[in-house]
Structure 1
Amino acid sequence: MGLSWQQGPLAPGAIGRFLVRDPLPERMLFTEPLRRRMRVRFAGDWIADSEDVVLLHEPGLYPVAYFPLNDITTSALEPGEHATQHRDLGATSWYTVRAREHSRPRAAWQHTDLPRYAGELRGRVAFAWRAMDAFYEEDERIVGHAADGYHRIDIRQSSRHLVVRHQDRVVADTTRPLALYESGFAPRWYVPRIDVDEAALVPAKGQTFCPYKGLCSYYNVGDARRAAWSYEDAYTEVRRVSGLISFEPDKVEVRLGGNRLRLEPGQAVVPHGPDRDLTPDEADPGRRS
């Protein structure tokens, strides 16, 4: 979750509410300085390098980085004929991005007729994430999308008794689960493999990618498809859950302290946006740089 997507406070499915007298607008956009150096690489060249990036948080979307024109290589942007109308920010012009003999049409955009209240984006350009080779903060590659400062993950050791069953089979039984608390989501519980009946897990095809945890693999449990998952090589920041197994409480029976867990409304991860379709090499934390 972030400020404006999934169940964040500015997202359409927000789980909290602002304690204000009058109703807020249905859509609220938020900009803020990133306060980190960000660079963009295209066709092997650095085409943008800035310490003055502004993030736009738009309802239902991942944050987008906007670079000042002065921090973009002049020859990298070629105005195109394509134009669109943003529902909140007005007329939008699109650029072809060039580096030497390489080009990518409609790979960057600029809002050219901004309303007065959106002046922070004036004179700035955003790059389509998947159209570029890579984005970096300092010398480390950022994969998936611009980092959302409002997304937080905490992991806590627990001694509560967690039991997972499917039909008549006990799939996991532990008194040492890890609770993973991720902004805006109900806790996810991870079980050490030694406390899992691994014979019950059948690897499922397909992986997904989380910009904060890494590459995720899935397992079928009997006829329950993709009922369990694991980050086999989780990013350093969440290394404690590497190789552990978590289970979907809407697909198998998960009891914590005797109480059955249920998947809370809105908890399903939305598989949209630029955090999908990465190759394993791109998503591998050991190859970020």
Structure 2
Amino acid sequence: MATKISDQLQQLSLELRFEPTPKRIRALLGEHVVLDSRRAVIVWEPRRMVPCYAVPADGVVGVLSPAAPPEPTPLAPPVLHPGIPFSGHSTPGESLDVSVGGLTAEAAAFRFDDPDLAGYLAFDPAAFSWLEEDDAVQSHPRDPFHRVDIRHSCRHIRVSSNGTVLAESTSPVMVFETGMAERSYLPPAHVDWSQLIATDTVTLCPYKGAASYWRLAGASGGDVAWSYQEPLPLAGEIAGLVCFYDNLVDVEEL
């Protein structure tokens, strides 16, 4: 019987998963090195889609101490949203504070009870600055099984809100990203900028880089569009292009 791979991966998301990485991994708290290891693994806790790094204890430079008990975190959803803090663990273990150079990151490390990860400690991606070899890592580790495919297209895409056209193009760039809905990125010349107002929102993606955002002019709602002005090399072809949330405005293929 044939197997749909994505279904199998979805089932695996309920388990504690890890994958070794050959890269040298370092983390810094301020200017101080917290860990330095060539034997790191990438770890996904059960129901978490966003991974973190874990390293053997001999790669940890910072001082570890027991953390205060965390606030209870509801773990009912089938998938833990990336916004749920690192301290909301979904597998047994011990939360630890990390101290170095007079600085402390509270509950920023985690010692697993799982025997297959015995001796390894996971670290909060958001609490430290990270390096893979000598290159900075944004947001969280890249998933080695995650792809971002960028393709130029002649689809006719129209974006509107309450009947007002916000953008329309027959030369979008389509982005197909593992586990995500397909996205249409449109040239800025094909956007009606009188309908949008820039906001202060900035988000980081480990695959695409830092995104800036816009909301609808004359509306009190949140951000409806974003763009990577200076994307990471992997996503260089979408530099300056604009994408819209299809659940907040109408994105049609004509």
Would you say same fold, with TM above 0.5? yes
Partner of 1:280: none
Could you tell me how far 1:250 is from its partner in structure 2? 2.9
- CA pair 166-81 structure 1, distance change in 2 beyond 3 A: closer
Partner of 1:90: 92
Report if the CA contact (8 A) 1:78-1:98 is conserved. no
Could you tell me how far 1:63 is from its partner in structure 2? 1.1
2:70 matches 1:69:
no
Could you tell me how far 1:244 is from its partner in structure 2? 1.1
Partner of 2:65: 79
Partner of 1:60: 48
Equivalent-residue separation in structure 2 for 1:25 and 1:125 (angstroms): 21
Q: Deviations over 1:57-109 (max 9, x none)?
A: 12225212111122223xx224337468998753425244223x334443323
Partner of 1:196: 191
Partner of 1:7: none
- CA pair 129-87 structure 1, distance change in 2 beyond 3 A: closer
Could you tell me how far 1:33 is from its partner in structure 2? 0.8
2:147 matches 1:152:
yes
Equivalent-residue separation in structure 2 for 1:68 and 1:215 (angstroms): 31
Q: Which has the larger radius of gyration?
A: 1
Could you tell me how far 1:238 is from its partner in structure 2? 0.7
Report if the CA contact (8 A) 1:34-1:54 is conserved. yes
Q: Which runs of 5+ in 2 are unaligned?
A: 71-86
Could you tell me how far 1:140 is from its partner in structure 2? 0.8
> Where in structure 1 do 4 or more consecutive aligned residues deviate above 4 Å?
81-89
Equivalent-residue separation in structure 2 for 1:147 and 1:26 (angstroms): 16
Deviating more after overlay: 207-216 vs 183-192: 207-216
Q: Deviations over 1:24-70 (max 9, x none)?
A: 68831212212211012234232321111122212225212111122
Q: Which runs of 5+ in 1 are unaligned?
A: 1-14, 259-289
Q: How many residues are aligned here?
A: 230
2:180 matches 1:178:
no
Partner of 2:238: 241
Residue 251 of structure 1 aligns with an amino acid whose one-letter code is: L
Report if the CA contact (8 A) 1:97-1:107 is conserved. no
Equivalent-residue separation in structure 1 for 2:106 and 2:164 (angstroms): 54
Equivalent-residue separation in structure 2 for 1:252 and 1:88 (angstroms): 35
Q: 1:33 aligns with which of 11, 20, 23?
A: 20
Instruction: Give the 5 Å matches for 1:1-289.
Output: 16-18=6-8, 27-58=14-45, 59-73=47-61, 76-80=62-66, 82=68, 89-92=91-94, 94-99=96-101, 101-111=102-112, 114=113, 118-132=114-128, 134-222=129-217, 223=219, 225-256=222-253, 258=254
SS of structure 2 residue aligned to 1:212: coil
Equivalent-residue separation in structure 1 for 2:139 and 2:99 (angstroms): 20
Report if the CA contact (8 A) 1:171-1:196 is conserved. yes
SS of structure 2 residue aligned to 1:149: coil
Equivalent-residue separation in structure 2 for 1:103 and 1:62 (angstroms): 24
SS of structure 2 residue aligned to 1:154: strand
- CA pair 209-81 structure 1, distance change in 2 beyond 3 A: closer
Report if the CA contact (8 A) 1:162-1:175 is conserved. yes
- CA pair 46-225 structure 1, distance change in 2 beyond 3 A: closer
- CA pair 167-120 structure 1, distance change in 2 beyond 3 A: same
**TM-score for both structures, normalised by structure 2:** 0.77
Equivalent-residue separation in structure 2 for 1:184 and 1:254 (angstroms): 20
- CA pair 141-167 structure 1, distance change in 2 beyond 3 A: same
Report if the CA contact (8 A) 1:68-1:125 is conserved. yes
Equivalent-residue separation in structure 2 for 1:103 and 1:201 (angstroms): 41
Residue 55 of structure 2 aligns with an amino acid whose one-letter code is: F
- CA pair 60-78 structure 1, distance change in 2 beyond 3 A: closer
Q: Deviations over 1:92-136 (max 9, x none)?
A: 25244223x33444332323xx3xxx333111222233333x111
**TM-score for both structures, normalised by structure 1:** 0.69
